[in-house]
C-alpha cells in the first residue's frame, strides 16, 4: 500500500498525469507512462474530470500503470456531480481493475450546475466521499490539501479543521495543491501538525516551462506567483528555450529546499511531459 512507503523512505517520489482529451493523444499516453516509469516513481496519480466525465479514461490509464507497469496507481475521483450509484460504479470498476488507491476529491462546481443540484449533491465534501468509500469498498483513499488555503474557506484555521475531518474520515496521506514558495508550504505544514494532522503530506511541484501555463493551469489553481517566478517569466518571455531551462531549475531548487526540510513526499505535476520530469530529477 502507498501509505506504507512513507515509513520506508523519505521523501517519496510521485507524478501526476492526465488522460488526454483527443483520441490521438490518448493513444500516445501509454508511451508517456512508459517514459515516466523509467524514473521509478513510488506512485503515479491520474486526474479525473470534474463532473465525472471521462472517468473511463482515468481508469484505463491507471490500470495500465498498475497492471502493466507495476507501479502504484492513484486514480483521482471527484464527487460534486455524482450520485451514489455513479460512485459505486466507478469504485466497482476500480476494484475490478485491481486498482487499490483513490485520491478522493469533491471537485469544483461545474459552470452549468444549478444551485438546486449543487445544494442537493450526494457528497457535500471530500471527507464524505472518503468515509463512504471506506465503508463500502476496499479502496485506500488519499486527500487534497491547500498550503495557501482552499479558495472557499474563510480562514486557514477553518480549512485545517475540515482537513482534519478528512483525515479522521480515513484519508491515508495528503497531496498539496501546487505552490511556488516553499515558505507557504512550510507554514502550512507546521499549522497542520499543530492542528493534529499527522498524515504524510506530499508537496505538489509544478515545473513552469512556458509563459502560457501561468495564464491557464496556475491561475485555475489560485496559487500565488512569487516575484522570483514573475521575474523569471518576464526575463525569458521572448526565449522559450531559456524559460524552459529556468523553469526546470526553479522546480529543482524548490525540491532541494523541501528535501532539506524533511518533506514526506515530492509529487511532480508532470503535465504528461516525462522529459521535463527527468531533467528535474537529474538536477537533484
Ligand atoms: P473538500 O475537501 O471538500 O474542500 C472544499 C472546501 O470545502 C474547502 O474550502 C474546505 O475547507 C470546505 N469544507 C470541507 N469540509 C467541510 C465541511 N464539513 N463543512 C464546510 N466546509 C467544508 N479537480 C478535478 O476536477 N479533478 C482532479 O483530478 C483533481 N485533482 C486534484 C489533485 C490535487 C492534489 C488537488 C490539490 C486538487 C485537485 N483537484 C481536482 C481540484 C479540486 O477538485 C478542487 O480544489 C475542489 O475545489 C476541492 O476539492 P477537495 O477535495 O479539496 O474538497
Spatial CA neighbour of 162 closest among 136, 124, 132, 200: 124
CB atoms within 10 A of CB 127: 23
**What is d(CA 87, CA 117) in angstroms, rounded to the nearest whole number?**
16
What pLDDT score does 214 carry? 84
Instruction: Cell numbers for 192, please give them.
Output: 497542520
d(C-alpha 69, C-alpha 41), whole Å: 11
State if residue 55 touches ligand 1 by the CB under 6 angstroms criterion: no
Place of cell 459552470: 111
Nearest to residue 146, comparing CAs of 126, 176, 175, 181? 176
- Report whether 175 contacts 45 (CB < 8 A): yes
Determine the distance separating the centroid of ligand 1 and the alpha carbon of 56, expressed in angstroms: 21
Q: Count CB neighbours of 114 within 10 A.
A: 8
| Spatial distance between the Cα atoms of 13 and 63, rounded to a whole number of angstroms | 19
Question: Which residue out of 105, 202, 218 has the highest number of ligand 1 atoms within 8 Å of its CB and is therefore the one to mutate?
Answer: 105
> pTM to 2 decimals?
0.97
User: How many C-beta neighbours within 10 Å does residue 222 have?
Assistant: 13
Q: Is 272 in the pocket of ligand 1 (CB under 6 A)?
A: no
pLDDT at 52 over 60: no
Write the pLDDT tens digit of every residue in 183-199.
Answer: 999 999 999 999 999 99
96-110, 126-140, 212-226, 247-261: the lowest-pLDDT one: 212-226
Which stretch, 54-63, 71-80, 234-243, has highest mean pLDDT? 71-80
Q: What are phi and psi of 108, to 5 degrees?
A: -85, 150
Amino acid at each position: 500500500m502507498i501509505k506504507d512507503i512513507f515509513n520506508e523512505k523519505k521523501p517519496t517520489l510521485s507524478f501526476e498525469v492526465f488522460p488526454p482529451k483527443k483520441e490521438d493523444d490518448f493513444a500516445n499516453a501509454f508511451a508517456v507512462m512508459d517514459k515516466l516509469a523509467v524514473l521509478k516513481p513510488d506512485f503515479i496519480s491520474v486526474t479525473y474530470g470534474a463532473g465525472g466525465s471521462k472517468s473511463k479514461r482515468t481508469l484505463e490509464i491507471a490500470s495500465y500503470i498498475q497492471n502493466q507497469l507495476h507501479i502504484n496507481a492513484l486514480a483521482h475521483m471527484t464527487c460534486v456531480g455524482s450520485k451514489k450509484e455513479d460512485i459505486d460504479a466507478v469504485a466497482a470498476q476500480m476494484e475490478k481493475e485491481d486498482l487499490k488507491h483513490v485520491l478522493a476529491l469533491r471537485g469544483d462546481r461545474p459552470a452549468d450546475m444549478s444551485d438546486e443540484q449543487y445544494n442537493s449533491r450526494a457528497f457535500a465534501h471530500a471527507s464524505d466521499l472518503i468515509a463512504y468509500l471506506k465503508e463500502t469498498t476496499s479502496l485506500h483513499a488519499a486527500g487534497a490539501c491547500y498550503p495557501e488555503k482552499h479558495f472557499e474557506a474563510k480562514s486557514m484555521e477553518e480549512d485545517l479543521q475540515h482537513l482534519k475531518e478528512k483525515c479522521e474520515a480515513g484519508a491515508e496521506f495528503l497531496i498539496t495543491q501546487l505552490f511556488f514558495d516553499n515558505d507557504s508550504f512550510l507554514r502550512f505544514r507546521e499549522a497542520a501538525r499543530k492542528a493534529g494532522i499527522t498524515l504524510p503530506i506530499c508537496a505538489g511541484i509544478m515545473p513552469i516551462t512556458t509563459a502560457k501555463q501561468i495564464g491557464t493551469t496556475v491561475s485555475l489553481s489560485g496559487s500565488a506567483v512569487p516575484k522570483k517566478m514573475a521575474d523569471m517569466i518576464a526575463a525569458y518571455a521572448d526565449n522559450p528555450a531559456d524559460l524552459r531551462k529556468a523553469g526546470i531549475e526553479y522546480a529543482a531548487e524548490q525540491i532541494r529546499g523541501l528535501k532539506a526540510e524533511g518533506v514526506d513526499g515530492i509529487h511532480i505535476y508532470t503535465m504528461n511531459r516525462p522529459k521535463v520530469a527527468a531533467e528535474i530529477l537529474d538536477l537533484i
